[in-house]
């Protein structure tokens, strides 16, 4: 399937951006995060709150290892809003395993096999009389223009993206943030057919603004939730991605970004340090229980117990307890005595179930 998604950008209004200023001595912030010139493209991108969709797509396409190599690469990085502007269901369809070739084609339309800073790009445009043609690693031809200090790129469908943040220097190249997704040449019939065959999320609730698919595993769904970017980053840092993609089944109590933010200042940053990996792993695995345990089962066990609690162990060995309040709300207690509410229950996965909680469960 050769994707074009050209309907995604037909009639779209190009966002107005401030003139881009090249940063030569200090990288700009991206998505609220510092960008470090001694880290590679993937190491920086995972920290940008504006690029969680792009990171999820790169992971799904198996391009992480490539973009961590020496390169150099120039990456035109669409924001979450750029992906959200595509037709409903497009991103979800592209992230399905059977569409990995199409997803790879789209993503590599955003990558050049060179280190192209904005001043060099502007120079090439000027040398070519106002329009410079460039071929991406995915084989897409882009028309590059520069006017008033702003760089724009026109893809093979006629859609235009503007560079909103330029010259984010990486150890293996450079990132330029853009406000639209660049697309390869159109094949509308194939795209429409794929959209028609998309598997629905069924009765699963939405989580973090994204549909959750019961035929996908815990990781494949979690990376799409805008409310769980910190949890996903922590799982990656702890090296638990492969485990949570396994057959399981697992029951995962998934704290939101707000839950991690409520921890004492600096806690998350400290836990994500390499030297604290064992501690991070213990905390994360204190949110995981072997087996597929529904909210109804947790509530039934709690109501039928002698003390009003259902006590059970996590895969870390830490203990949790479930209690049902009079309102019918399910709470989970950790070993530290904290009680956190289950805000979204029974998000079914191919390898278990997720229950969203509003606090981080801490072992002793």
The residue among 206, 334, 352, 310 whose CA lies nearest residue 259 is 334
Report the pLDDT value the prediction gives residue 281, as an integer from 0 to 100: 97
What is the CATH classification number for the domain harbouring 63?
A: 2.30.180.10
Q: Assign 328 a pLDDT band (cuts: 50, 70, 90).
A: confident
Q: Which residue has the higher pLDDT, 140 or 176?
A: 176
- The total of structural domains in the chain comes to 2
For the residues of 120-188, what is the DSSP string, one character each?
A: HHHHHHHHTTT-EEEE-TTS-EEEEEEETTEEEEE-TTS-EEEEEEEEEEETTEEEEEESS----S--H
Report the pLDDT value the prediction gives residue 290, as an integer from 0 to 100: 96
CB 67 within 8 A of CB 57: no
Q: Assign 289 a pLDDT band (cuts: 50, 70, 90).
A: very high
When the pLDDT of each residue in the chain is averaged and rounded to a whole number, the result is 86
Is residue 246 pLDDT above 90, yes or no? yes
Classify residue 212: in a domain, yes or no. no
Domain C-terminal end among 141, 176, 192? 192
Q: Which residue has the higher pLDDT, 4 or 288?
A: 288
285/334 same-domain check: yes
154/270 same-domain check: no
Is residue 3 pLDDT above 50, yes or no? no
Is residue 274 pLDDT above 70, yes or no? yes
The residue among 251, 358, 245 whose CA lies nearest residue 298 is 251
Report the pLDDT value the prediction gives residue 77, as an integer from 0 to 100: 96
Average of per-residue pLDDT across 101-122: 93
Is residue 189 pLDDT above 50, yes or no? no
269/186 same-domain check: no
Report the pLDDT value the prediction gives residue 6, as an integer from 0 to 100: 30
The residue among 288, 312, 319 whose CA lies nearest residue 218 is 288
Report the pLDDT value the prediction gives residue 327, as an integer from 0 to 100: 67
Classify residue 210: in a domain, yes or no. no
Kindly state the DSSP code that residue 73 receives in the 8-state scheme.
E
261/300 same-domain check: yes
Report the pLDDT value the prediction gives residue 316, as an integer from 0 to 100: 96
113/35 same-domain check: yes
Q: Which residue has the higher pLDDT, 329 or 194?
A: 329
Least confident of 19-23, 308-312, 346-350: 19-23
Is residue 188 pLDDT above 50, yes or no? no
Q: Assign 186 a pLDDT band (cuts: 50, 70, 90).
A: low
Domain that holds residue 246: 218-357
| Rounded distance between C-alpha atoms, residue 45 and residue 68, angstroms | 11
Residue 214 makes CB contacts below 8 A (sequence gap 6+) with 201, 202, 204, 348, 349, 350
């Amino acid at each position: 399937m050769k994707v074009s998604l050209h309907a995604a950008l037909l009639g779209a209004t190009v966002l107005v951006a401030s003139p881009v200023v090249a940063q030569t001595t200090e990288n700009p912030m991206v998505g609220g995060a510092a960008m470090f010139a001694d880290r590679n493209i993937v190491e920086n991108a995972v920290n940008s709150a504006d690029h969680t969709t792009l990171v999820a797509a790169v992971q799904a396409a198996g391009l992480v290892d490539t973009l961590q190599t020496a390169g150099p690469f120039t990456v035109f990085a669409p924001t979450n809003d750029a992906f959200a502007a595509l037709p409903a269901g497009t991103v979800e369809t592209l992230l399905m395993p059977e569409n990995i070739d199409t997803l790879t084609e789209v993503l590599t339309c955003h990558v050049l096999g060179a280190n192209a800073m904005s001043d060099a790009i502007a120079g090439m445009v000027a040398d070519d009389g106002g329009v410079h043609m460039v071929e991406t690693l995915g084989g897409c031809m882009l028309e590059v223009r520069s006017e008033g200090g702003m760089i724009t790129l026109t893809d093979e469908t006629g859609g235009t993206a503007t560079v909103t943040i330029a010259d984010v220097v990486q150890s293996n190249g450079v990132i330029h943030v853009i406000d639209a997704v660049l697309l390869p040449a159109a094949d509308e019939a194939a795209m429409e057919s794929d959209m028609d065959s998309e598997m629905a999320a069924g009765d699963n609730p939405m989580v973090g603004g994204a549909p959750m698919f019961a035929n996908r595993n815990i990781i494949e769904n979690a990376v799409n939730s805008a409310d769980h970017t910190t949890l996903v980053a922590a799982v990656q840092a702890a090296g638990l991605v492969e485990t949570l993609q396994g057959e399981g089944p697992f029951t995962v109590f998934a704290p939101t970004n707000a839950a991690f933010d409520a921890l004492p200042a600096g806690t998350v940053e400290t836990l994500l340090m390499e030297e604290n990996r064992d501690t991070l792993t213990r905390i994360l695995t204190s949110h995981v229980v072997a087996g597929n345990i529904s909210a109804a089962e947790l509530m039934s066990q709690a109501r039928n117990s002698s003390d009003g609690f259902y006590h059970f162990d996590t895969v870390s060995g830490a203990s949790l307890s479930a209690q049902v309040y009079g309102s019918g709300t399910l709470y989970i207690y950790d070993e530290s005595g904290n009680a956190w509410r289950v805000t979204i229950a029974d998000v079914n996965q191919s390898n278990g179930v997720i229950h969203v909680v509003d606090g981080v469960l801490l072992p002793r």
